[in-house]
Amino acid sequence: MEINQVTHRLSLMSSGIWQRGKEEEGVYGFLIEDIRKEVNRASKLKCCVCKKTGASIGCVAPRCKRSYHFPCGLQRECLFQFTGNFASFCWTHRPVQIITPNNYRESLPCTICLEFIEPIPTYTILRSPCCKNAWFHRDCLQVQAINAGVFFFRCTVCNNSDIFQKEMLRMGIHIPEKDASWELEENAYQELLQHYEHCDVRRCRCKEGRDYNVPNSKWEIKRCQCCGSSGTHLACSLLQSWEQNWECLECRGIIYNSGGFQKAKKHTLPNTNIVGINDCLLEESSPKLPRQSPGAQHKDLLRQGNKFRRDISTIIIELGFQIIKKTKRLYINKADIWNSALNGFRNQKFNPSYTIEVVYIHENDNFGIEHPGSKQEFLTLLMQHLENSPLFEGSLSKNLTLNSQAVKENLYYEAGKMLAISLVHGGPSPGFFSKTLFNCLVYGPENTLPVLDDVSDFDVAQILIRVNTATNVADLNSVMNECYNYLELIGCLRLITSLSDKYILAKDILTHHVIKRVQAPFESFKQGLKTLGVLEKIQTYPEAFYSIFCHKPENLSAKILSDLFTVHTLSDAQSLGFWNSYLQAVEDGKSATTLEDILIFATGCNSIPPAGFKPTPSIECLQTDFPVGNKCNNCLALPITNTYKEFQDKMDFAIRNTLRLEKEESCHYIGQ
């Protein structure tokens, strides 16, 4: 049977044989005498690839004399059509897809395997005829066609089958006339008849394991009332009885965004100012707090919270309980903070739960001297670099960029991982996320509507403004015609029948540019944020994390700094008086330094981290010529002087020049 099938395939492609018999005659309709004649003919033909005889397949292009074996043709990228007369084309005359040039400036993902490819039609890269922004590897399409069969093989984006199959057959994709492989598999859907019995909460408390299920006890597994594909032991989610409602995190986020939950009282998020875009279309309402089940409310009350309103410092301190005493030393070059951090975190021996010990090194130091460093200063510098890195775009509120090289190097994952580690280990507030990026993380991209402020590309922003400000159908069609290539590329071409269509068009452009375009970076970044359970906490307490992800910390004041620093015993009373006067003078703008400069000088941080400082910042008075900041211990040594003027001059001089030298040492790399 296998020999007959091989003979059948070769007969279909051979140039000198026809199917003259019925299906049951000979080999699938190819008569034995015809096969013998074709074998005799092919024995006289030499393959233009391997130079051996037996090349029964020839190019159908007029005047082309090339003949080749089927495997040799595949190797040389010849094209075989498995339809009609089963024509074969050599590498010179094979059909090509005609694509408008200069439309594609960035890599796009194969919509089957999601690996990024250059959107240029070649033998190995094909484009969908019905969705202009859908691209595929030939191999991915062929595997899908074999598995789906003629009844299920269709465009992965729009589900079109007729136009899609016709083009794929023309381009040499074999679509077998059979049912889909998953329909032929015996008991393929047997698992759908089984109840889900597994505890999926992050910390399962059952000593017998996550699959342990004892009905009518606290170890009975309760399934998500929405999807039924996630579960929890009653005790693991503090549910009092099986009758109580319970939703998994994913379903909670979806229902939460769909209006199924009540809005919490006194819960407001700052509105994003939108210029030139209709509010009802592009403005996004503030996230709503979930209406919790009694069991979830009880859990929050036990944690001294109410409806997920919890203090962010408490949450991060709880995350910090995962850190163990075992230390991991990171060798950090301040002039190359990103790469040295990347090398440290990618080290096989690095564990996010280990206590981080920072050692500063210098490239030009021939003696290899190591300098103890401040962990919080290192994390602050790392977050500053991350904020200004090519992984994010925007001015103040930032979204992810589409950087193909960064995707290949898995840098978005590393960025998410760094951010999670920084928060848990006492780093600063990120403070630069856009509301859209934050909502995508919490509720999912499919439940998030971007706004114009999320678009940092000037040309795209202008298109959006022109679309929204169109006053009639003619103006709207004019914009469509001028931007035809771009709209075709992103799959947003649509038939305009009324002026109200502009709102849907603007929404489609926004969603593609801000969300769909960066799908691969977002998923990678999201996976990195799962480190140490940070993403789960963000999704559980969105309101608390919103304050530190989307807003910079509150401005420092003289009182905040005065209360922040504890005073060591036996300190000079006059110097402490000078210190308080100096803080007030700095706040009033009567000094060359700022309150942030003072905090950086003493701790390496320009703001108070969400989890606070460890150790607590302190002050001592010493017989020194100038103040000294010990960033490892968060200790500030004040000089003892006779007059306040002398005290202020020494403080200003030391702080200003120290920070200037440190900035000059590393500013050539931060922000690149």
Q: Which amino acid is at 193?
A: L
Q: What is the token pair recorded at 395?
A: 């001015």
Indicate the SS3 state at residue 27: strand
Strands 618-622 and 635-639: parallel
The three-state secondary structure class of 249 is helix
504 membership: H or E segment, kind and range: helix 501-514
The active-site residue, picked from 110, 550, 632, 667, is: 632
47 to each of 57, 213, 258, how far by Cα in Å? Answer: 9, 66, 64
Which amino acid belongs to residue 320?
A: G
Q: What does the radius of gyration of the chain's CA atoms come to, in whole angstroms?
A: 33
Distance in angstroms (rounded) separating the CA atoms of residues 144 and 394: 39
Q: Strand pairing partners for 135?
A: 110, 127
3-state SS, residue 187: coil
Q: Which two tokens stand for residue 79?
A: 């094209």
Q: Could you tell me how far CA 298 lies from the centroid of its own chain? A: 34
Q: Which helix (H) or strand (E) holds 88?
A: strand 88-89
For the record, the structure tokens of 350 come out as 């690095």
Cα–Cα distance for residue pair 497/502, rounded to 1 Å? 10
Beta bridge pairs of residue 17: none
Specify burial of residue 574 (Cβ count, 10 A radius: 0-12, 13-18, 19+): middle
Give 279-338 as a DSSP string. HHHH--PPP------HHHHHHHHHTT-BTTB--HHHHHHHHGGG-EEEEEEEEE-GGGHH
Q: Using DSSP, state whether 372 is helix, strand or coil.
A: strand
Question: Catalytic residue at 632?
Answer: yes
Backbone angles phi, psi at 524, to 5 degrees: -65, -45
What's the rounded Cα separation, in Å, for the pair 433 and 456?
Answer: 14
How many residues are listed for the chain in this entry?
672
Report residue 202 as tokens: 């992050």
Burial of 434 (0-12, 13-18, 19+ CB in 10 A): buried
CA dihedral sign of residues 231, 236, 241, 247: negative
Catalytic residues: 632
